[in-house]
Amino acid sequence: MRRTATLVVASLAAILLLGGCASDSATFDGRPREQVWTAMVAVAEQPEYPDWNLIENEVSIIPDRSRILVYRRLEVMRQAVGASPVEMKREWSFEITLDPPQEGKPPKVTFASTAMVLPARLKDEAERYFTAVGELLGEVKVPPAPKASSTAPPSAVRGE
Domain CATH number, residue 106: 3.30.530
Residue 38: what pLDDT?
97
**159 inside domain:** no
Residue 127: what pLDDT?
94
**103 inside domain:** yes
**152 inside domain:** no
**Chunked mean pLDDT (size 10), the chain, 160 residues:** 54 47 87 96 95 96 97 93 91 94 93 78 90 89 49 38
Q: What global pTM score does this model have?
A: 0.72
**Per the structure, how many domains does the chain have?**
1
**59 inside domain:** yes
> For 68, phi and psi rounded to 5 degrees?
-125, 130
- Whether 136 contacts 39, CB under 8 Å: yes
Residue 43: what pLDDT?
97
What is the extent of the structural domain holding 69? 20-141
**111 inside domain:** yes
**29 inside domain:** yes
Residue 149: what pLDDT?
44
